[in-house]
Amino acid sequence: MNVIIFGPPGAGKGTQAINIVNKFNLHQVSTGDLLRKEVKNQTEIGRDIENTISKGDFATDEIVNELIKKIIFDQDKKNKLIFDGYPRSLSQAKNLDSLLSSSNQKIDFIFFLNVKKDIIIKRIEKRKELEKRSDDNFATIIKRYDTYMETTKPVLDFYSKKSNFYEIDGSGEIDEISSKIEQILSV
């Protein structure tokens, strides 16, 4: 099966994706991880990404789509993907549908972790202490949240009409959220 899990920065997408990976033997596709890997390796794309995200902006659709394409066409991962933080825009959602269709795949489940801004801020401040991520400062947090909500509204509208779309309150405890997701995936 292929799964999308999305929500604002700090909603717990990565945590839930890891739980799903472990329980259902899927491969996590985290755009954040892909982008950070490019930055860490100081590739040409990585330098562009670093410049963009340091301002609180998101990497361009072109860069993200190219990184995603490589994974979708990896035969070892076919129909075993969980997309964590992708798609973030309507053009990315349409690109994903096109790539999956051309590789004879589809999305089986779509989860939106809905979390209010004040909870996101608290979570990211805690994550900054624990993980020391450079993109976790207060101004950047606010900008990323606002940008995410603005650009993701069309994606929510696009997916929420589908029968495999599930909105989950992401403000609860990790185990509680995991349990809700696992119940849906096990049907």
Q: Which domain holds residue 62?
A: 3-178
pLDDT (mean) for 44-62: 84
Q: Burial letters for 140-176: b for 16+ Cβ neighbours within 10 Å, e otherwise?
A: bbeebbebbeebbeebbebbeeeeebbebebbeeeee
Query: Per residue in 119-158, pLDDT tens?
Result: 887 877 776 666 666 655 677 777 878 888 888 889 989 9
In a domain, 185, yes or no: no
As for how many domains the chain has, the answer is: 1
CATH number at residue 111: 3.40.50.300
In a domain, 165, yes or no: yes
Query: Per residue in 54-103, pLDDT tens?
Result: 887 778 888 888 889 989 999 999 999 999 878 988 889 999 999 999 99
Q: What percent of the chain has pLDDT over 70?
A: 94
In a domain, 137, yes or no: yes
Query: Which has the higher per-residue pLDDT, 28 or 134?
Result: 28
